[in-house]
Structure 1
Amino acid sequence: MSFPATQVQASAGIAALSARLAAQGLPESKADDVRIALTEAINNVVEHAYAGVAAADVQIDCSLCAKKLVIQITDTGDPMPELRIPSGTPPSVDTALQDLPEGGFGWHLIHQLASDIQYERKSGGNLLCLRFDFDEMP
């Protein structure tokens, strides 16, 4: 599936993809993990990859088979810093309430929820691959 990289279109696209995956047999026990990680990844594309440049489309390809789901997210936005996946270390919350960070937790969630994460910059675009392993058969 493909949709314009805007907040509204991303939200609708994630909801549609979640429904398709459920209909194709994604185990209920993994549905929330997949939706949360996918939402964080797509929001990063919208907010960071296309920050300051004209937003284009986000392409999502999925492969659901025995005991795993692989999601490939492709965009033509700016590359990830240093051409690599952020470490996923959350910012410190050991601070006064008014000084708590507003963001920085998304990659931590993605690292916690996905079984594997791969990233590459290829032909002027970004390819992020998230794999989710599960014990139940779809």
Structure 2
Amino acid sequence: MNRKCDKKCLELSFPAVEAEASKGIATLSARLTQNGLPEHKTDDVKIALAEAINNVVEHAYSGIASANVQVNCRLCKERLEIVISDSGAPLPGLRIPDGKPAQLGSSIQNLPEGGFGWFLIHQLTSEIRYERYDGNNHLCLRFDL
């Protein structure tokens, strides 16, 4: 992510549990709005943040002791850069899932329970990168404004 920016970086760390993640997402969304995130991007950012952070809570820490999720946001005039870091399990194959939508069933009873998160993240962001180093995951999301 580009470090050249005239805006202050917003940082937040919280325990990787569902209730704290919800509070963290709400806090980050409010702070970004207060710091000038354009209104037309607010919902996109909140949805992508929620999907990515919930993946950390549900999958990265599945079967292991939860720790913290660290989120760093850099809001610039032309873009918003968000880095979500955790010490949980790596993404399978050390790569971002393709983001293909889940196959829909023929009836409401046959709808899949999951499989839409990465599709939404891919659709809502301008760029996604993933790195794993020093035992930590770093998911970078960029939104062009």
**Shared fold per TM-score greater than 0.5:** yes
Alignment of 1:54-69 (within 5 A): 54-69=65-80
- The answer to whether the aligner puts 1:75 opposite 2:86 as a matched pair is yes
What runs of 5+ residues in structure 1 fail to find an aligned partner?
none
- The answer to whether the aligner puts 1:111 opposite 2:122 as a matched pair is yes
Equivalent residue number for residue 12 of structure 1: 23
TM-score, normalisation: structure 1? 0.95
Alignment of 1:25-64 (within 5 A): 25-64=36-75
Question: What whole-Å deviation, never above 9, does each CA across 1:23-63 have from its counterpart, x for those lacking one?
Answer: 11000000100000000000000000000000000000011
CA RMSD in angstroms, aligned pairs only: 0.8
Q: Which runs of 4+ in 1 moved over 4 A?
A: none
- The offset of 1:66, in angstroms, is 1.3
TM-score, normalisation: structure 2? 0.90
CA contact (8 A) 2:105 2:112 kept: no
Question: What whole-Å deviation, never above 9, does each CA across 1:55-74 have from its counterpart, x for those lacking one?
Answer: 00000001101110000000
Structure 2 counterpart of 1:40, one-letter code: E
Match for 1:24 among 16, 19, 35? 35
Equivalent residue number for residue 110 of structure 2: 99
Instruction: Give me the whole-angstrom Cα distance separating, in 2, the residues matched to 1:92 and 1:62.
Output: 33
Percent of pairs identical after alignment? 63
- The offset of 1:98, in angstroms, is 1.9
Structure 2 counterpart of 1:95, one-letter code: S
Equivalent pairs counted in the alignment come to: 134
Bigger mean CA deviation after superposition, 95-104 or 2-11: 95-104
